[in-house]
């Protein structure tokens, strides 16, 4: 199974850390899952980040610590908050970091 599909399946089961134990995974619409995945594929090119430490497709990251460098560069980019899809990007980037940590 590819990393993108694993991430989508993980999102379906994901719940906030402070959620009660009775909360099962949220119900995600398919278009929301697609958008969360799309962000990780296009955000680097949309921000025009030209840095060897930041991969164009964020699904290529295997290690959370290495991804954390790219994550910091993306969220601190001068145009990050200007992205049309900023709210989704912020959540998707953070949840992908959580996903990578849980893969260990």
Question: Sorting pLDDT into bands at 50, 70 and 90, what band is 28?
Answer: confident
Please state whether the predicted TM-score (pTM) of the whole model is above 0.85. Answer: yes
For residue 14, the model assigns a pLDDT of 82
Average the pLDDT over each of 14-23, 50-59, 68-77, 92-101 and give the range with the smallest value: 14-23
Question: Sorting pLDDT into bands at 50, 70 and 90, what band is 18?
Answer: low
Domain ranges, ordered by start, for the chain: 3-12+29-103
CA gap 47, 24 in Å, rounded: 35
Quote the mean pLDDT of the chain.
Answer: 89
pLDDT over threshold 80, residue 4: yes
pLDDT over threshold 90, residue 26: no
CA gap 8, 93 in Å, rounded: 13
Q: Kindly give, in sequence order, each residue whose CB lies less than 8 Å from that of residue 19, ignoring residues fewer than 6 positions away.
A: none
Distance spanning both ends of the chain, measured CA to CA: 16
């Amino acid at each position: 199974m590819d990393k993108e599909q694993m991430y989508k399946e993980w999102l379906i089961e994901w719940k906030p850390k402070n959620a009660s134990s009775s909360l099962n995974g949220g119900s995600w619409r398919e278009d929301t899952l697609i958008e969360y995945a799309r962000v990780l594929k296009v955000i680097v090119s949309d921000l025009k980040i030209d840095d060897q430490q930041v991969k164009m497709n964020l699904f290529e990251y295997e290690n959370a610590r290495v991804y954390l460098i790219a994550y910091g560069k993306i969220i601190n980019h001068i145009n990050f908050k200007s992205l049309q899809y900023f709210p989704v990007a912020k959540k998707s980037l953070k949840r992908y970091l959580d996903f990578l940590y849980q893969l260990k």
